[in-house]
Structure 1
């Protein structure tokens, strides 16, 4: 008939281990990081908006502005000319912005105070974000009033 029951039966298998607590901890950490980043972005956006509004209000009121830029390419106080090798005796022979040698017939701009020469596109890009000569940091004044 059958085998008599053994007093030494194998123990029942352990219940399967669940990793749900680790999943919950991970989700809490990710959600916390997302909330912190969202708050940080809101604070930075608000701060940048305040700074932009403060500057535009000051310009509208006619108050002193701490910076100006050559944003309008039709009004550029830096004169331009075509490069001629024979006219460049003892002057600049390369653009300090792009480090390229001036070629015959290229359009150059000469800084009004320090007389340094640069390729027109190079110095225009520089003056878009700076208010001085890239070599000697001599200031370039804002354009004066247009007289008709």
Structure 2
């Protein structure tokens, strides 16, 4: 009787060990899939930061024209210490700036955003999303000369 008990105990231990290995394998696979989803989402966001003028947000609005948007300075986000960045997050999409993101700097108020986000905003609303100042005019009405330097 003791031999049968020992055989049953060994089978239970082997089944438990096999179940634990299968669960560990499934957890590792799910973490890898989760990582792939996160990376692909980041890649899609980086690709969408390029301005696609056929996009819905550029079709109609009461804001700036596409020619006016082209005059606004833009830059590629390189480091968090970049003096062109007014905050670490885009106030339109609320996501952090990532290395290589195309950003746009509004010349009057010096606020910075993802270029795609602020372009969509400015086509519909001709004011800065943060301070409501005009991106091409000072508060006194003087025209601002937009330079790319």
TM range (shorter): 0.3 to 0.5
- TM normalised by structure 2 equals 0.45
Higher relative contact order (CA 8 A, sep 6+): 2
Q: Which has the larger radius of gyration?
A: 1
Given the two structures, how large is their TM-score scaled by the length of structure 1?
0.45
**Structure having the larger proportion of residues in helix:** 2
